[in-house]
Chain A
Amino acid sequence: MCLGIPGKVIGIDGMEATVDFFGVRRLVRLDVVDEPVALGDYVLNHVGFAIRRIPESEVAETLRLFAELAAAGDDQDLLAADLRAELAATQEGKK
């Protein structure tokens, strides 16, 4: 539950951002993010809130582990399951 998940900001509407998580678009809250975010930034998200804007130079390194876990479909894999829970904690986009 402390894992968090990184994603790319592709839309901002007030306190809400549309974030692309490995191809899945979801809404996350920006209430407690540490720095102002702009389109194209990557953010680390936990239970539906962005908690850290990831510096550009660190993005690739941060995404590596998560991309591998996102690809793991095994239900028995607790890390991958926690990552799916982080995704489920974000809101579906409004149509």
Chain B
Amino acid sequence: MSAGASDGAELKFRDPGRAHELTTALARLVQSLGRAPVTLMHVCGTHEQAIARFGLRAGLPPALHVIMGPGCPVCVTDLCEVDEGVALALQGVRIATYGDMVKLPGSSKSLADAQAEGAQIEVVYSATQAVELARASDRPLVFFASGFETTAVATAAILLAQPPANFSVLSAHKYVPPAMEAVARLPEARVEGFLAAGHAAVITGYGLFEDFARRHRTPVVVAGFEPLDILAALVKLLEMIRDGEHSVANAYPRCVTREGNRRAQESLWRVFQAVAGPWRGIGVIPDGNLQLREEWAALDARRRFRIDVSGLKQATQSELSRRCLCGKIMVGLVEPTDCPLFGRECLPDSPVGACMVSSEGTCKIWHQYGGRPDLGGTS
């Protein structure tokens, strides 16, 4: 709890006057809507990090709830996907993966557990580094790839750049727009507006959300990561709700365009197709998983290896994981502090649920920045 937002020095706005204007506007807008509370959802771990780090919730009117939805790709990696990685590793196949994936619990084991049993797990920061590991030896290497579309683009580019024959990919890549769709359909979520993730939108473009906004009669604002960017985007969302505008606004024009990065999209969809697949704690999301296309079968670990996960399944869940609220936290129905395990049995060093594992998980972020990161503010 070293970086608690209750410390006034943490609230570093480059323009405090502007921050005050924006929070005043938020209070006025919420009041003018004449109903409370108003719930807005963002779907990006980096947004949550910025909101917590800069103590933004402290300045929000009490009747405005800004919650995080399914915005952590590691957290939504399903148990069965972890099981596949663990099974491959225990079969003696060398695995390269992003650091946050190592501690992520599977049905009975994590990759860290497999490593303790002698499996070879390499942590990489990029797909390029995984390819280099493959080039350095003749043995098979599987890149267990996680991340939303922004990160999947890098995996696609690596496959398009002719990786060595001993390299293959076990894809746990996920596609965010269908998950927003799933949350928007949850009647109990009552989300009145969405902040779309800035850097995912760099790839897809904001035009992608126009149909979503119309169908769900819910405005969408693309937001950047500066504290003032986020506050400005929230003001815009409330204005759109007030005016009944069911469309998309781009509050991050310096990085996001309507059509997005065409070249990246082309690479992404040449390699991947969106298919229905399970998201941990949430369920099957239609078009939510990014699977390698048939043409890439030779580089698809699922087609290349016989992966037997049967030994990893457990008949019953442990007592602790039954009490874990990650699933509800990831769709914004409850907050980390509502979970009886948060900060007690469930800690970053000994996580019970996925949200405490990743640096983009709501629980880990709240834990790191000081419990419920909005209680200390006075502005």
Enumerate chain A interface residues (CB-CB to B < 8 A): 1-4, 15, 29, 31-34, 44, 46-49, 51-52, 54-55, 58, 61-62, 64-65, 68, 74, 76-79, 81-82, 85-86, 88-91
Contacts and interface: CB of A to CB of B under 8 A. Distances in A.
Given A79-B53, A82-B359, A2 B148 contact: yes
Contact of A55 (B45, B128, B254): B254
Nearest to B202: A52
Interface of B: 2-3, 12, 14, 44-46, 49-50, 53, 73-74, 98-100, 125-129, 147-148, 150-151, 153-154, 156-157, 160-161, 197, 199-200, 202-203, 225-226, 253-255, 260-264, 267, 358-360, 364-365, 368-369
B345 to A, nearest CB: 21
Contacts, number: 131
A86 B150 CA distance: 13
Q: Mostly helix, strand, loop or mixed at chain A's interface? A: mixed
Contacts of B3: 74, 76-77
B230 to A, nearest CB: 11
A43 to B, nearest CB: 11
B125 A47 contact: yes
Contact of B263 (A32, A48, A81, A88): A32
A31 B125 contact: no
A31 B157 contact: yes
A27 to B, nearest CB: 9
Contacts of A58: 253-255
B261 A47 contact: no
